[in-house]
Amino acid sequence: MAATVTLSGPAYYASSYKTISVQSGSVVVSGDGDTVLSSASDVGIILKGSSGLISVTGSHSTITAGIPSFGASNYDSLYLGGNYNTVADYGFYGGGVTINGSHNTVASSQKTESANVVVNGSYNTINSLYLGGNMTVNGSNETIIVGAVNIVVNGNNDTITSVKAKSIVDTGNNNTFVNEAVPGQPLPYGLLNGNGTAGTNTTPGAMVSITGSGTSLTSFTDNNTVVAGGGQNTVSALSYNNAISVSGSQSSVLTQSTSETIAASGAGDTISAAPASGVSVSPTAPSAVISLSGNSSVGTVYNAGTPIVDVAPASFPVIINIANSNVSVTANAGQTINDSIGGNHFSISAASLVNISGNDTLQVADGTNLSQDSISGSVVNFGSNDLFYGMSGQFTNAKNTLNVTGNNNTGIFYGADQDTLNENGTGNLFILEAGGGTGTTGGAINVSGDNAFITMSGNNTINASNGAQMVVQANNNVITGSNISLQIMGTGNQVNLTGPDTVSSASPYTYDSTFAPNQTTQNSFTVQGGVFSLGGLDKLLQTQGAAQITLFGGNAVTLSGANDTVTAGDQIYGGNTIVNNGANNLIALQETNFAADTIIASASTTVTLTDIPGMHIGGNSGNAIEKLTFIGSSGTSSTILGSASNAAITMSGGASSANAVYGGFGGGNSLNGGTGGANLFVAGGANDVLIGGSSGNNTLVSAAGNETFFTAATSTDLISITGGGGTDMLQAFSGSLQLASNLSVLNETTLAGSLNVTLNDGTKLIFSGLASVTQNGGLFTH
């Protein structure tokens, strides 16, 4: 082995392939293949030759490898074990550099250098911009500037700036990487110049692998592939055509161009895509594609424990593919969201396109048009001035929940969707169309406030309140609510309302293709107060309150309120059945033809009957064959005014008393006071039967003739004869009979044991079973 040459500076040594030990001072070594060793501090070493080795374990030394004025100096190697040393590199091309010390500074001015560098110490600064070899950093808190090299970082808290790096492998934590496209210029020149817009830049980028945590990577070069698996990493791609995947939690990705492919699967990951300031992007540029996949069991609180995508308004299209749950996406114009998994949260604006299929939450910004979107199994939250239009057949069994809290939104969806609508705010209109598929289960509809809802599809459950306006043009809906306006055109609807409501139920004849007089019950209503119009064949139960009710025929109504007004006609489906359990209720029957009304009263009732001329469905009106059956009960005292109607009134008073009944002018009235008394029964025409009531004190008044009177056994009834011809029959006469002032007895005879009295106008009175009565002028008593 050659002897070691010991030098103390100042010294100059020109031999080659020697081992030189520098003890102190400054030494210049100009040979080739020399090995220069120094463990001293504050020395200076200049290696002018090539293929040399410098090993310095001391501190505060100055080392220079190669001097350009002396020609090429290549294949030198450096081993630096000391601290606070300064190295000027002009000659490590093809050699290697190993740094184990700390606080050392290495500056390279080689324009082309392929040395391999290993940094094991800490707080070292290396500036080797044109380094073309491999850079391995095992130390921490290092500052590295390199060129197009392969970089491996195993340390922590390192800062590495590269220019067009070939590859980056990071296994440490909290490191910072900047990969520049132009040396010393951290600006997105590729974006600003429009490079790569149409995919013209095909130069391969860096392959980046990050397995540590807390790393920050900013790249200004195109065509990079980044895979980040640690947590809390940040990737900024200020360039084109990058493929980025993050799987650690709380990581973030920022892109500012088109043609990006981004995948995130960590909890709390954030993806942001926005154009760089001043970037003009062709509308035909490729889309940025964002894919979210992986862990479906991450947190449930958006913006805290879930992947997050925030896509700012861009002039280029962005496609977001979701392949996991618990993702939060904010998208704007030009973005498309595809989610086939569900359980995610989306915020979108006017020109976004959403294709989602389950358990997602969609927050819709003001002024958004959802007309081509495919949404199912999700929650959609509307703002204001939004338009939602579901295409027929696209959303069968979609089962979305549509929440409307803003104003002036318009939505159209389909019955087969089985959606839930919560419509609040003001000025909103949602329409549920028929079609879109088959099924017997509709949606769940909740409408409150100054909003409108129209359904042409049935089998829904509908709740409305606080001024909601409802139009139901369908069958078999269940409707509840209070203080609403409701129009119904359909059958089989069950309606239960508790407030002052306004309801209009159309006649089946208005929407059936043919008249069906034998049609069964149309709709059923349970209501309180308000205004109600029933077109025909409806059932209505009023439980309380005061109501104005209009009936057009064939309805069944039960009144349990007070101060009601019922106007009932028989225009289409004949008479109505009315049960009155309330107080001070007024019923006005407007008859046309074939009426057969029934009124059952357990409370005092006032009834008026009026003939209304006009056409009756199924035949001309002639105000004939009209009937009213009135059934009273104990404790009531009713008034029935039929003298303006042709209707024949059948009165069954039961135990009621003090009734006042005026029969229809067509005659054939049957007024029976039952066990009551003090009734006033006035015959309306001919052939009436008047039975005062067994308790007596009744007043029975004849009309056109051929009347039949039954008096009570108490001898307290009064029969008033008005004449008019015909034969009036008095059965079991007991009480008094008074002739009108214009009437007098013309003659009297007894036939078959009955007194026959003929009056001056031709009227005949037959006192059946009585041969004689007491007579005093026009007053007969018995």
> pLDDT digits over 735-754, tens only?
999 999 999 999 999 999 99
Give the contacts of 556 (CB within 8 A, at least 6 positions apart). 521, 538, 539, 540, 576, 577, 578
Residue-level pLDDT at 195 = 47
The mean pLDDT value for 627-655 works out to: 95
Residue 285 binned pLDDT confidence (cut-offs 50, 70, 90): very low
CA 527, CA 547: separation in Å to the nearest integer?
Answer: 9
In the predicted structure, residue 492 carries a pLDDT above the cut 80:
yes
The least confident of 75-79, 202-206, 504-508, 605-609 is 75-79
Q: Is the peptide bond before 10 cis (omega within 30 degrees of 0)?
A: yes
70, pLDDT greater than 60: no
Q: CA angle, 563 as apex, 559 and 568 as ends, to 5°?
A: 55
pLDDT higher than 60, residue 191: no
Is the pLDDT confidence value at 668 over 80?
Answer: yes
- Percent of the chain residues topping a pLDDT of 70: 78
Q: Kindly report the backbone phi and psi dihedral angles of residue 509, in degrees, each rounded to the nearest multiple of 5, phi listed first.
A: -65, -20
Amino acid at 234: T
Which string of b and e fits 575-598 if b means at least 16 CB within 10 Å? bbbbbbbbeebebbbbbbbbbebb
Question: Phi, psi at residue 510, to the nearest 5°?
Answer: -80, -15
Longest dimension (CA), the chain: 178
What's the chain's length in residues?
782
Q: C-alpha 435: how far from its chain's center?
A: 20
365-369, 513-517, 661-665, 768-772: least confidently modelled range: 513-517
Q: Over 80: is that where the pLDDT of 71 sits? A: no
On the question of pLDDT at 554 being above 60, the answer is yes
Whether residue 646 is predicted with pLDDT greater than 60 in this model: the reply is: yes
Distance in angstroms (rounded) separating the CA atoms of residues 763 and 181: 125
Burial class (CB in 10 A: 0-12, 13-18, 19+), 774: exposed
Residue 658 CA to residue 742 CA, distance in Å, equals 28
Backbone angles phi, psi at 188, to 5 degrees: -80, 70
SS3 at position 682: strand
CB 380 within 8 A of CB 358: no
Least confident stretch, 333-342, 457-466, 566-575: 333-342
- Tell me: the pLDDT tens digits for 200-234? 678 888 999 999 999 999 998 889 999 999 889 99
pLDDT bin (cut points 50, 70, 90) of residue 150 is: very high
Whole-Å CA distances, 414 to 383, 418, 464: 21, 8, 19
Q: How many other CB atoms are there within 10 angstroms of residue 112's CB atom?
A: 9
Please compute the mean of the pLDDT values over residues 358-374 and round it to a whole number.
74
What local confidence, expressed as pLDDT, does residue 304 receive?
Answer: 28
Question: DSSP E strands: which ranges in 583-698?
Answer: 585-591, 596-601, 605-611, 615-616, 619-620, 627-631, 639-644, 648-652, 660-662, 670-672, 680-682, 689-691
Write the DSSP assignment of 421-485 as a string of letters: EEE-SBS-EEEEES-SS--S---EEEEESS-EEEE-S-S-EEEEETT-EEEE-SSS-EEEEES-E
- Res 574: pLDDT: 80
Question: For residue 600, how many other CB atoms are within 10 A of its CB?
Answer: 17
Tens-place pLDDT, residues 613-639: 766 665 556 777 789 999 999 999 999
Distance (Å) of CA 436 to CA 108, 456, 460: 72, 12, 15
What is the per-residue pLDDT for 128?
A: 78
**pLDDT tens-digit series, residues 463-472:** 999 999 999 9
498: tokens are 């508790």
For residue 260, what pLDDT is reported? 72
Tell me the C-alpha distance between 98 and 81, whole Å: 8
3-state DSSP assignment of residue 60: coil
Predicted confidence at residue 284, as pLDDT, reads 36
Nearest in space to 289 (alpha carbons), one of 277, 302, 276, 273: 273
DSSP-assigned beta bridge partners for residue 161 = 145, 178
Alpha-carbon gap, residue 680 to 669, rounded angstroms: 14
pLDDT in tens, 416-458: 788 899 999 999 999 998 875 555 788 999 999 999 999 999 9
384 in Cβ contact with 409 (< 8 Å): yes
* 176 backbone dihedrals φ, ψ, rounded to 5°: -125, 125
Measured distance CA(472)–CA(83) in Å, rounded? 87
Rounded to 5 degrees, φ, ψ at 381 are -105, 115
Amino acid letter for position 729: M
Q: pLDDT tens digit string along 226-266?
A: 999 988 999 988 887 888 888 888 888 877 666 677 777 77
Helix (H, G, I), strand (E, B) or coil at 396: coil
DSSP 103-142: S-EEEE--SSB--EEEE-SBS-EEEETTB-SEEEE-SBS-
User: Given a cut of 70, is residue 287 above it in pLDDT?
Assistant: no
- Given a contact cutoff of 8 angstroms between Cβ atoms, the answer to whether 416 and 400 are in contact is no
pLDDT at 563 over 60: yes
For residue 470, which of 511, 501, 508, 515 has the smallest C-alpha distance?
501
pLDDT tens digit sequence for 760-782 = 999 999 999 999 999 999 999 99
Model confidence at 286, pLDDT cuts 50, 70, 90, reads very low
| pLDDT score, position 1 | 44
Average pLDDT in the chain: 82
pLDDT tens per residue, range 387-426: 888 655 555 577 888 999 999 999 988 887 888 999 999 9
Q: Are strands 105-108 and 86-89 parallel, antiparallel or unpaired?
A: parallel
Q: What percentage of the chain exceeds 90 in pLDDT?
A: 47
Distance CA 434, CA 413 (A): 9
The DSSP call for residue 208 is: E
| Integer CA distances (angstroms), 499 to 177, 468, 480, 483, 526, in order | 68, 12, 10, 5, 11
The pairing of strands 764-768 and 754-759 is: antiparallel
The pLDDT assigned to 103 comes to 93
Question: Long-range contacts: 66-71, Cβ < 8 Å, 24+?
Answer: 66/90, 66/91, 66/92, 68/109, 70/30
* Residue with more model confidence, 648 or 91: 648
C-alpha distance across the termini of the chain, in Å: 167
pLDDT number for residue 107: 82
Kind and range of the H or E run holding 191: helix 189-192
Task: Report the range of poorest mean pLDDT among 118-127, 188-197, 280-289, 729-738.
Answer: 280-289
- Residue 308 pLDDT more than 60? no
Q: How many CA atoms lie within 13 A of 584 on its CB side?
A: 6
Beta-carbon contacts of 326 under 8 Å, excluding residues fewer than 6 positions away, are 267, 296, 298, 299, 300, 305, 306, 307, 343, 344
| Tens-place pLDDT, residues 15-36 | 777 788 888 787 888 777 777 8
